[in-house]
Amino acid sequence: MREGKGLPNLPKARMIARLSQQALSDEVGITRAAISRIEQGHNDPTLKTVFAIMHALAKRGVAVSVEFLSDYPTGRHPDDYLTKGTHPALREESD
C-alpha cells in the first residue's frame, strides 16, 4: 500500500462497530468492492464517502476522526482518535 492512500484503519473501526464490508457499503451507498479497495489503499474515498463512513460508524457508537481512519501522521497513536460509545447523538438520556 502506498503512503497516504485509502483509509488503512477502517477495518479496525468497522470491526469495533461490528459491521461487515457489505453492511457498511450498503449504508454508505457504494459497493463492497469499493470498501475493500479503500481499506487496502487502492482507492482514495471522496470527502462525501469519508463522512458517510464516519456517520455509519457513529450510528453504532464508534466515533472516529479523519486522522484515525487515514492514519494521518500526527505522532499520536491511532487509538487516541477512536472512542466507543461516546458519540453525542448516541448517548442515552438520563432520567
pLDDT in tens, 64-81: 887 777 765 555 555 665
Please give the Cα distance from 94 to 41 (Å, whole number).
Answer: 42
pTM here is 0.71
Please give the Cα distance from 27 to 70 (Å, whole number).
Answer: 20
pLDDT of residue 68: 75
pLDDT in tens, 14-60: 999 999 999 999 999 999 999 999 999 898 898 899 999 999 999 99
More confident residue, 8 or 94: 8
Q: What interhelical angle do 21-28 and 32-40 show, nearest 10?
A: 110
